Structures are given as C-alpha cells and as structure tokens.
Structure 1
Amino acid sequence: AGGHVAIAGGSQSGKSTLVRTLIGALALTHTPDEVQFYCLDFGGGGLAQFTGLPHVSGVAARLDPERVHRTVAEVMALLARREQFFVDHTLDSMASYRRRRAAGEFPDERHGDVFLVVDGWSTVRQDYDDLLAKFSEIATRGLNYGIHLIVTTARWVELSAQVRDQAATRLELRMGDPLDSEVDVRKARSVPRTGGRGLTSDSKLHFLAGLPRLDGGSSTDDLADGVGDLVTRIAAEWHGPCAPKVRMLPHRLPVADLPRPAPTEGGGMRLALGLDQEALEPVWHDFSRTPHLVVVGDTESGKTNLLRRVAAGITARYTPLEAKVIVVDYRRELVDAVPEEYRIGHVVSLDNLRETVDGVARALRTRQPGPDIAPARMRRCDWWSGPRLFVLVDDYDMVGGPTFQGPFEPLLDHLPLGFELGLHMVVARSAMGAGRGLNEALLRRLDENNTPALLMSCPPSEGHLFGNVKPRNLPPGRA
C-alpha cells in the first residue's frame, strides 16, 4: 500500500542497518516462496551476509559490474514476463496473483513479491548511470506486478524524479544537513546523532529503528554476529526451495552450446555469436539484413576468436561451392581457421592484399543488377551465380592506415549492396587509437551503411566510439 521504500539519511545515520532490518522482518514473516530479494550492496558490504538467506536471489557489490547488470536485468526480465503473464491469465492485480498462486495455481511461477534493494543510490548515479532508465521503469511499472524498490540515499534530491515520486513509504533518518529534510527542517535539527533515529513522514514524530537480530543483543558493535545468527536461524527453519539465484554469463562458452547457423532468404545466414547478458539468449547476426560486421577490442580481448567463430559458421552453413573466404591476417593467427577448400586467399602482405581486392572487385562488377531486375528479385539474388564472398580482416589497424592509401577502396562502392551482391566483410581492429581509426575510409563507409559493431574490452580513455556506448575494460570474450 505504501509503494516503493526510500530511506534517506546522512553518513553513519543507520541507512544500511535499517535496510537489513526491513529484509530481516520480511524474511521472518514471509516464506522464500512469497518474497524474494535482489540486492545491490553499494553501502559498505552490509548486505553481503544475506547471501545465505533462502529469500535472497543474489547480492552484487559495486566492484562487480557484471553481477550488478545481471541483477537488474533479471528483475527487468521478470517484469516483462509478469506483464505478459497477467494478460495470458486474466489477472487484474497482484492481490489476485497472490491469492491464486497460494491456492496452488501457477506451480511453475517461482517468484512472489520481488524486492530490488539498492543500498547507496549515489553509486548508481556515479558508476551505473546507464541503469537509471531501468530503475525508473521499475519504479513506474513495477508495483502493479509485485516488483518493489527499496533504496537508500544521502539526500532526497539525489533520487531520480520517477523513483522519488513513486516512493510512497519514506523513512528519514538524521540528515547530514537538516535543510535537506523533506519532513520538517526545524524538527530535523533535533534528531539525535544516534544511528537509527529519524522522523516519520506522516506525523513528523521521532522514531528509533530496530536492529536486524534475534539474539537479544542491542549493540551495533557486534551487529555482524547478530545478522549472521538471524540468517542462520531463518535458513535452518526453511526446508523448501530457495529463491531463484541470479544467473550469470558463463566464464567459458563452448561453441557447441550455441545454435547452429540458420539459413535465410536468398542464401543468407544467421549466426549466433554468443549469449546476451540481458536475457542469456543467443546473440544473432543476420548477414542477410546487415551483411557486414565491425569488431573493436583491446589486445587479447577475443577479436580473433570471434573471427574464428564466423569462419566456423560459414563452413557449417555453406558448401565450398556456395561460399568462399578471403582472410586478411598479417599476424597469421587464422591460418587454420578456414579449410583450404573454402579459402581463395590468405593475405599476409600489402601487395598480396591489393591484388586480391582487385580480383574481388572485378567479380562483383559482373554481379551488379541491371535495370531489368525488379525490387522483389533483389533479395533473392538470383540474377548472378557463384559463391558468396566473405572477407575476414584481423588487425585492420595494421592494414588500413592512411599510409597504405586505402587498400580496400575498390570494394567501397559495393558495400551498400553487400548481401545482394554476395559480399560480406567482417573487420576487426585494435581499440588503441580507435577514436581516430574509425574515420579511415573502409570503417567510415561501413558505419555510413549502418553496419553493426561489437565493442569488446576497450580503454575508457578512447571515449564514445559507437553511439552512447561507454568503453569498458572487460574480460576476454565479452562485448
């Protein structure tokens, strides 16, 4: 009834302790089947002890951005699923969902009321501002589907407007500056400098928050022991299934775990490149819709491995008569990636590259559609014969600098009709100097043709390379 929960207070006012009290109280009065917690622990590690609580799906710390993003992604995915679930089962409210679920309906639904706990909102603003829109969406839509926010902040004005407006339950501890009080500036000055003391928002009366412990202790000096005892005793009394844990991307992803390449119209191919962090579903690149691909990443970030994945997809999807591959590989790291029967060129020098590119350009000129080719035939690609040509370029920064006078220039005019002409370019380059390097002729032309890009591990100092995506240092294979 009180909507989302927001707790404000100055340093050492007891915000993290009050959050733990709320979690402990809900865990004592509800089963792990009824409530679940997803926690972002940005307030000093106070929530880490709740990892062993059967109600807790996961606790993510500030220095673990992958787990932070996965935690929020899980809640967002649950919100989307539940919205559709309500439509499919003609549910008009969370009260109906709770009642029918308690009566034994929906046995496959493992979530009840879900609480996304954010202890330290300032960290969201400073380090995870890309998640602000998702928090706003949860704040505005979540309550209708049993998804709640519990957030702590040092100042009310730090909260985004959507979160602040939807947080009908507001608990104000002693503020660092009484002028920041939203309850009563004058009374805020009288709040003692004791942890857990604050003002109620409705009656403007003083309150003292309880401690999250069952052992009878009343001190905060050994609070960690009290919380540990609380978690242990609750866990010992519960013998059913625990809350679903936050799913994480695997550290290694065998190619065999990905779907096989799928054929598309006109002899095209959809290729699964990896798993998406948001939904843990395959990430597909459709060469019939976007015929080319650009990959940018730091040394040892996985660029060459991605090219190997593309090469394996080509050989799995096509016969040697249907597709041919040209590998531009100055470092000779892709020598064994393409079987000889598919390979029509393995370029390791500039002179060899120019000769090969000129040959490809001549072949493509014979495939240009004439005036008699109707638009409906363009996607069928039935006015020319021969194999599709895949050009895989590794370490493009060694190939396409200005001193080389654009070795791929003969292909630039063919890029817009890449799929229709049977030309596909997959270009990987180093992240070092990418801010300048992306202005080189080939990469600029690919960008002008709306070519998708994968940004793997990249120094933040390079700045924004593709849209609003912030470069980040990532583990190998992540993008």
Structure 2
Amino acid sequence: VLSIATAARLAGVPAPRRPWLPELAAVYDVATLGAQTDAQLVLGVVDVPAHQEHRTLHYRPDDGSIVVFGTGGSGKSTTLRTLAADAGLAADGDPAAEGGPVHVYGLDFGAGGLAMLECLPHVGSIIDGSDHERVARLLRQLRETLEERSARYAQARAGTIGEYRQLTGRSDEPRILLLLDGLSAFRDAYESEVGRAAMFGAFQRVVAEGRPLGVHVAMSAERPGALPTSLAGSVQRRLVLRQADENAYGVLDVPKDVLGPQSAPGRGVLGGTTEELQVAVLGGSTNPAEQAQHLERLAARLRAAGVRDAPPVRRLSSFIERTSLPGSVGGMPVLGVADDTLAPIGFEPHGTFLLAGLPGSGRTTVLGSLSAALRTFSPDGRLYYVGNRRSPVHGAGIWTDVAVTVDEVTALARSLVPDLTESPVSGMGIVLVIESITDFLGGPAEQALTEAVKAARRADHFVLAESETSTWGSAWPLVSEVRNGRRGLVLQPDHLDGDALFRTPFPRMARAEFPPGRGVVVESGKTRRVQVPVAG
C-alpha cells in the first residue's frame, strides 16, 4: 500500500474523490458561516449524508421558541451565547439587508454563563436568577410588550413582526429574544412558589403568545422532564446535546447512536431528525475567556457602527432622596418608589397607618421621611408628634406641637380629642405621629392616647404609629385601634407578618431582598413593595 501510494504521488495521480465527507469539526466560527438577519440566525453546521454536504444551520425565530437539552459541559450556555452574538452580527451586517434590530435579555439560573454578554449594546440586561426583583420586572415588561403589540399588530393586520415592519415602514421595531439558562432552577423558584407563580404564568404567556409578536425564547434544560407540558406545546424547536442518561435520547426523539459521552461540546441533533450538527461559537474558540474577548471586540465594533443600546432592566435603588420626588402623587403625600413601576406612589392621609419593622430596618428614618412628606403635602397642616426626646424625628422642626414626657403626652392627647372628633372640612385633617407606641402601654398616657386614636380614626383624621414588628401582636386597645385599620408598611418583613398585622397574606420573601427603608405596603388588602426615601 505504501509503495502504491508513493508511486501515485510521484506520478502526480490526483487523489480520488472520497465517498463521504470528513467529520464535523469540533468548533466553527459563527462569523464565517454567512450573512444573517434577525429572522435567520446562524446556529451551526449540520452534516447531511444523503446529499454529501455540510450545510449552515439556522434558527428562525418566526418558527417558534427553542429549547436546548444537554448535560453539564455539553454546550447549552454556549449555544445561548451564540444566538446573542448572532443578533449582534445581524446588526453589524449589510445596512441594505432586510431585517431589523434585536434586543436580547437573559435570565441566568445556571453557573453565570450568560454574564459575558452584558458588554454587547443590543443586550439589555443579563439578570442573575437570585435577583427576584429584576426577574419579575423583566417578565412584567415582556407581558406588557405582548399586550401592547397585540393591539398594534392587529390594527396593522400584521401576522408577524416582519409583516408589521413592511406594512408600517417601522423597520426599527425590535425583535426581542429572551435567553433562559437553567429552566429547572427557574421552575423551582417560580412555578409553585407562593407570590411568584404569577411570574411563571407570565413566562408561559411569553412562550405561547410571543412568536407572532416578535418576542421569542431560547432556553436550556438538563433533562427532558425539565420542560413542563404547559410549555411543551409552545416550543417548536428542540436541540439535543450530549445527555447523561442514554434513555433520554429516545424521549427526545433522536437516535441513540449519534451522540455519546465523548461527543464534543456543542455536538447535537435537532429533535425529530437524525443529522449530526455542531453549534458554532463567536471567534471559533471553545475557551470561555477567549469567547469573552471576542464578544468585547464585537461590542466595540457594534458601538462604532452606531448600534443603539437596548433598554436595561432597572433596579429599585436602595437610596432615594426625598428632594428627587414630587411633593404629591395623585393628590396624596408621597410614600416612596414602587418596586413594580419604579414610579412614586402616595398614601391616603386618613385613618390609621401602622409602621413596623425589625431593629436596623430603618423605622426611624422612614418615620421621619413620612412625616416630612406630610408636611410638604400640607405646609399649613396641624402635625403633632408623640415620642421620645432622643429621637431625631422629634427635632425635625416640622411639628405644630410635640410631647415627649408622660405628662406632656397625656395633656396633648386630651387637648386634641375635641378637635379629633370633628371631621376635616376639606383636605388633610389633623396628623398625630406616635413613635414607639408600645412604650406607652400600661402607663398613665395610654388611655388618653387610645381615646385620641379612636376619635381620629372615626372622624377621618390621620394617625401614623410606629413600633417594632414583634410588639404589634399585643392585644392592648391602643395597639388594636391602630392595627384594625389594616393598612401600613412593614420594613424587612417575613411572610407571616401579613396575616398577623393586616389579615392579608404576604408571599414568601427573603429579608435579604429588603435593604433598610424597603418594605411591603398594605392598602385595601393589596400588597406592594416600596422603597421609602430619606429626608433631604
């Protein structure tokens, strides 16, 4: 054989055509596999033995969402990163090419494999799975996008985002691609968790209704059972990478003999087919550090080309100055900034309002801030303070009168009762602020304060009372009179506080999610997270 090969080489005999193609490479550079648009993103290279060719494989978002199944190290996160890079390459292509921008968002419930995408201008935000605030905000925004686009596309009689762009001339209408890395972990955190199940419902709606509205989902999962039946019917494409359990291939409708333990990362098969494929990566490197460098270079190129930044998913600030907020909202004094809208919200200055929280939760600061808000709302109003001399709230300089000793408290409360029995003619009535209300229980001032609170509540004046959370469970009449209003603010709450203080259930929540000054406000049986500003 060696002699024949040597003779053929010396004689210049051309090599015969092989009856089969070489094996797929272990890695391909997605940037070298042809031009792409937002409607046709390069996924990789597929081996088609029947036609003796290797073809570029595309993911077409208008065909529906896609789920990538694979065990650890099989290339799931890399596949999602490739789709995000594709969206940037589409924007970096021929300006005359058809298509439009893509805004990419990511929910990283895995090992942080999506974090490197945040440098790209078309990537709005990559949100860690532990950041429940921003996860919920992103899903709410996507749900609102569906509702808004549904009406707009119906009016234009458009069945897809491409048709809408053509019919209206709005070529800048962005396609939205949501990447979810770690479907199982996402389900564990949201599917059945009290207070979070609505967000899982929003995600289901995005998957089910997003395709014709230009909102698409690419998600990863380790095993077939991670995709619930509630989503399975809405996910049209399945990419199967290496599996830990050989039986999973049959469940996912791919041959068992194509992939194995030694398969390269990114090697896979599309569900329902038999052809082997290799997912491409930006830069053609399997090294994550080198991939990150290629992404940074792509980001610089896109910004130089004028690609606009996608809107980020903002976070509720843990420090807000009151001077940055308006003096009133909807004809009410400002309570703070709501978590769901990131906009100021107000509170009704009538009846009783309970302020509770743990030590170190910012109760004193919040009490001072709410008192300042009441004074700003009603510069000529009658504000009275009952508390202790050491409190900074006492020295705020906004009070009509103050009482810090037992005798002063008793006298002030008794003097206010006649006025508190008369309903305010208009606007805000008399305001009575009581700091550390449980300090007065069992003392000489308790009866006078109870009569004053009772009169204020019945005549629609306003009582703002503060104390530590654990003390509000007392059965004393003074405490009960405030608590019976069933409204207030709990800082750094526990999910049990809702039923105990307001007879309103709270969702499960971690106190680590609540910095000082942040809590749950209860009004009319409804709850809302809010950050109270500091006075200043």
TM bin (shorter chain): 0.7 to 0.9
Q: Which residue of 1 is the match for residue 104 of structure 2?
A: 37
CA shift, 1:458, in A, is 3.8
Pairing 1:12–2:73 present: yes
Are the aligned partners of 2:318 and 2:518 in contact in 1 as well (CA < 8 Å)? no
1:127-160 C-alpha deviation (Å, 9 max, x unpaired): 4542323312323333342222222222343345
Q: 2:340 aligns with which of 278, 293, 297?
A: 278
Are the aligned partners of 1:323 and 1:387 in contact in 2 as well (CA < 8 Å)? no
Q: Which residue of 2 is the match for residue 267 of structure 1?
A: none
Q: Which residue of 2 is the match for residue 116 of structure 1?
A: 178
SS at match of 2:508: coil
CA shift, 1:285, in A, is 1.6
Pairing 1:155–2:193 present: no
SS at match of 1:151: strand
Residues 262, 152 of structure 1: alpha-carbon distance in 2 compared, 3 angstrom cutoff = closer
Q: 1:310 aligns with which of 347, 361, 370?
A: 370
SS at match of 2:279: coil
Q: Which residue of 1 is the match for residue 277 of structure 2?
A: 208
Residues 57, 330 of structure 1: alpha-carbon distance in 2 compared, 3 angstrom cutoff = same
Q: How does 1:290-309 map to 2 (within 5 A)?
A: 291-309=351-369
Q: How far apart are the structure 2 equivalents of 1:242 and 1:324? A: 48
Q: What's the TM-score once normalised by structure 1's chain length?
A: 0.76
CA shift, 1:282, in A, is 1.3
Q: How far apart are the structure 2 equivalents of 1:104 and 1:263? A: 35
CA shift, 1:255, in A, is 1.5
Q: How far apart are the structure 1 equivalents of 2:448 and 2:229? A: 53
Pairing 1:68–2:135 present: yes
Residues 161, 97 of structure 1: alpha-carbon distance in 2 compared, 3 angstrom cutoff = same
CA shift, 1:236, in A, is 0.9
Q: Which residue of 1 is the match for residue 238 of structure 2?
A: 170
Pairing 1:132–2:168 present: no
Residues 475, 190 of structure 1: alpha-carbon distance in 2 compared, 3 angstrom cutoff = same
Are the aligned partners of 1:196 and 1:210 in contact in 2 as well (CA < 8 Å)? yes
Are the aligned partners of 1:272 and 1:284 in contact in 2 as well (CA < 8 Å)? yes
Q: How does 1:43-442 map to 2 (within 5 A)?
A: 43-83=110-150, 85-86=152-153, 93-100=160-167, 103-104=169-170, 112-128=174-190, 129=193, 130=196, 131-179=199-247, 183-184=251-252, 187-188=255-256, 191-193=259-261, 194=263, 195-203=265-273, 205=274, 207-214=276-283, 216-217=284-285, 220=286, 222-233=287-298, 235-237=300-302, 238-261=305-328, 264=331, 270-287=332-349, 291-320=351-380, 322-329=381-388, 331-339=390-398, 342-346=399-403, 348-349=404-405, 352-365=408-421, 367=422, 382=425, 388-396=429-437, 398-399=439-440, 408-410=449-451, 413-414=454-455, 417=458, 421-431=459-469, 433=470, 437=473
The number of equivalent residue pairs is 437
CA shift, 1:259, in A, is 1.5
Q: How far apart are the structure 2 equivalents of 1:414 and 1:94? A: 60
CA shift, 1:37, in A, is 0.7
Unaligned runs of 5+ in 1: 265-269, 369-380
Letter of the 1:282 counterpart: P
Residues 398, 95 of structure 1: alpha-carbon distance in 2 compared, 3 angstrom cutoff = farther
1:433-468 C-alpha deviation (Å, 9 max, x unpaired): 37x7377655655555442x3333246797976513
Larger radius of gyration: 2
Residues 121, 355 of structure 1: alpha-carbon distance in 2 compared, 3 angstrom cutoff = farther
Q: How far apart are the structure 2 equivalents of 1:189 and 1:404? A: 84
Unaligned runs of 5+ in 2: 1-61, 94-99, 520-536
Are the aligned partners of 2:114 and 2:126 in contact in 1 as well (CA < 8 Å)? yes
Q: How far apart are the structure 2 equivalents of 1:396 and 1:165? A: 57
Residues 25, 306 of structure 1: alpha-carbon distance in 2 compared, 3 angstrom cutoff = same
1:21-78 C-alpha deviation (Å, 9 max, x unpaired): 2222333234696101111222112111111112101112234444434443443444
CA shift, 1:196, in A, is 2.6
CA shift, 1:117, in A, is 1.4
Q: How far apart are the structure 2 equivalents of 1:197 and 1:26? A: 22
CA shift, 1:114, in A, is 0.8
Q: How far apart are the structure 1 equivalents of 2:515 and 2:175? A: 34
Residues 425, 297 of structure 1: alpha-carbon distance in 2 compared, 3 angstrom cutoff = same
Residues 8, 401 of structure 1: alpha-carbon distance in 2 compared, 3 angstrom cutoff = farther
SS at match of 2:430: strand
Letter of the 2:174 counterpart: G
Q: What's the TM-score once normalised by structure 2's chain length?
A: 0.69
Q: How far apart are the structure 1 equivalents of 2:357 and 2:269? A: 51
Are the aligned partners of 1:113 and 1:146 in contact in 2 as well (CA < 8 Å)? yes
SS at match of 1:212: coil
Q: Which residue of 2 is the match for residue 371 of structure 1?
A: none
Are the aligned partners of 1:191 and 1:206 in contact in 2 as well (CA < 8 Å)? no
Residues 325, 241 of structure 1: alpha-carbon distance in 2 compared, 3 angstrom cutoff = same
SS at match of 2:233: helix
SS at match of 2:210: helix
**What fraction of aligned residue pairs are identical, expressed as a percent?**
22
SS at match of 1:278: coil
SS at match of 1:152: strand
1:265-298 C-alpha deviation (Å, 9 max, x unpaired): xxxxx1222222322221222336xx43333333
Residues 294, 145 of structure 1: alpha-carbon distance in 2 compared, 3 angstrom cutoff = farther
SS at match of 1:23: helix
SS at match of 2:211: helix
